Amino acid sequence: METGTVKVKRGLAEMLKGGVIMDVTTVEQAKIAEEAGAVAVMALERVPADIRAEGGVARMSDPEMILKIMDAVSIPVMAKARIGHFVEAQILEALEIDYIDESEVLTPADELYHINKHAFKVPFVCGARNLGEALRRIGEGAAMIRTKGEAGTGDVVEAVRHIRQVNEDIRRVVSASPEELMTIAKELGAPYELVLEVKELGRLPVVNFAAGGIATPADAALMMQLGCDGIFVGSGIFKSDNPYKRAKAIVEATAHYNDAKLLAKVSAGIGTAMRGMNIGAMKEEEKIAGRGW
């Protein structure tokens, strides 16, 4: 009997496909998320929109709060560690969290290095803006990838940019001849072996979710139609005026992302979405997707 293998780490992400993972800050929110049909919850003290508004250093959440949420629901529970903060990750592993998000939403702890994720039995998900970044994280041991998007804005434009970039990079790898692949690996800054794997599979070797700015059922379906395997919703649910209805609608939209009639039905009468902020009007230094490399 072998635990913590690449297969079981990547395997859990495979089981989450077609599902919605929701940010929750309390036991009550976690229960609402589960009732609405979430496949997992992300336990954190402040949703990204509040981290943005309040500023200061954003760190791993209080273990007490994480444990309470783990007790309250039967679905997997994830939590965030700062980029490069392997001790926060060790603590989360000691709590037996189901997945660790090494997240740019928190303040990075290391400007040079991400966590060596191979050293852990608990799987990791990491953000990426392009194929090179995704493959670097997979090379470090990430078992799941998500777009970075621009968390806490309710503006889906960056998530769209990131999945389109990943798709474009994958098409380039797939159509390349064998002698081109090393040069592509060099240009992407990606491990050569993983570039070969992408060429063979025609997709990332791990599950790829959308994250960062998803606020409506239509946003979720858009990301699914663009080829994402599932959806993270951060501030979008509990910053809206009817979280349960919206959460349920986003679950439906993710399962039936190609069914415009159903999308119309579930988008109706779910109240007002989070107000959000227009990324186009933001200064470069206000964006968090640039954290990590």
Partner 1 sequence: MKIGVLALQGAVREHCQAIRACGAEPVEIKYVDQLQEIDGLIIPGGESTTVGKLMVRHEMIEPLQRMGAEGFPVFGTCTGLILLAKDIHGSDQPRLGLMDMTVERNAFGRQIASFEMDLSIPEIGGPDFHAIFIRAPYISRVGPGVRVLAEYEGKILMARENNLLAAAFHPELTEDLRIHRYFLEIVSNYIK
Q: Rule CB under 8 A: which of 233-252 touch partner 1?
A: 251-252
Task: Figure out which of the listed residues 47, 49, 76, 160 binds partner 1, where binding follows CB under 8 A.
Answer: 76
Judge whether 214 and 233 are in contact, CB under 8 Å.
yes
Q: Does 162 bind partner 1 (CB under 8 A)?
A: no
Assign 161 to helix, strand or coil: helix
**In this chain, which of 24, 30, 39, 105 binds partner 1, going by CB under 8 A?**
39
Contact 93, 132 (CB under 8 A): no
Nearer to partner 1, 140 or 252 (CB): 252
Residue 202 touching partner 1 (CB under 8 A) = no
State which of residues 8, 53, 87, 182 lies at the interface with partner 1 (CB under 8 A).
8
Q: Select from 46, 114, 162, 256 the one that contacts partner 1 (CB under 8 A).
A: 256
Q: Which is nearer to partner 1, 124 or 238 (CB)?
A: 124
Tokens 């609402």 -> residue: 32
Distance separating alpha carbons of residues 204 and 164, to the nearest angstrom: 13
Q: How far is the CB of 172 from partner 1 (least distance, A)?
A: 23
Q: Tell whether residue 37 is a contact of partner 1 (CB under 8 A).
A: yes
Smallest CA-to-CA distance from 27 within 69, 56, 58, 57 is with: 69
DSSP 227-287: T-SEEEESHHHHTSS-HHHHHHHHHHHHHTTT-HHHHHHHHTT--PPP----GGGS-GGG-
Dihedral (Cα; 187, 190, 194, 198), 10-degree rounding? -50
The only residue of 4, 189, 202, 290 in contact with partner 1, by rule CB under 8 A: 4
Q: Is residue 3 close enough to count as binding partner 1 by CB under 8 A?
A: yes
How many residues lie near partner 1 (CB under 8 A)?
37
Interhelix angle 131-139/157-175, rounded to 10 degrees, is 80
Bridging pattern class, strands 230-233 and 207-210 = parallel
Beta carbons of 270 and 82 less than 8 angstroms apart: no
Q: 80 catalytic, yes or no?
A: yes
Q: Is 98 in the site for partner 1 (CB under 8 A)?
A: yes
Q: Point out which span in 14-22, 130-138, 144-152, 163-171 binds partner 1 (CB under 8 A).
A: 14-22
Is 99 a binding residue for partner 1 by CB under 8 A? The answer is yes
Instruction: Report the run of H or E that residue 185 belongs to, with start and end.
Output: helix 181-188
Question: Considering the rule CB under 8 A, would residue 123 count as an interface residue with partner 1?
Answer: yes
Question: One of 9, 31, 80, 245 is an active-site residue; which one?
Answer: 80
Just list the catalytic residues. 80
Contacts with partner 1, residue ranges (CB under 8 A): 1-5, 7-8, 11-12, 14-19, 34, 37-40, 70, 74-76, 93, 96-99, 121-123, 251-252, 255-256, 259
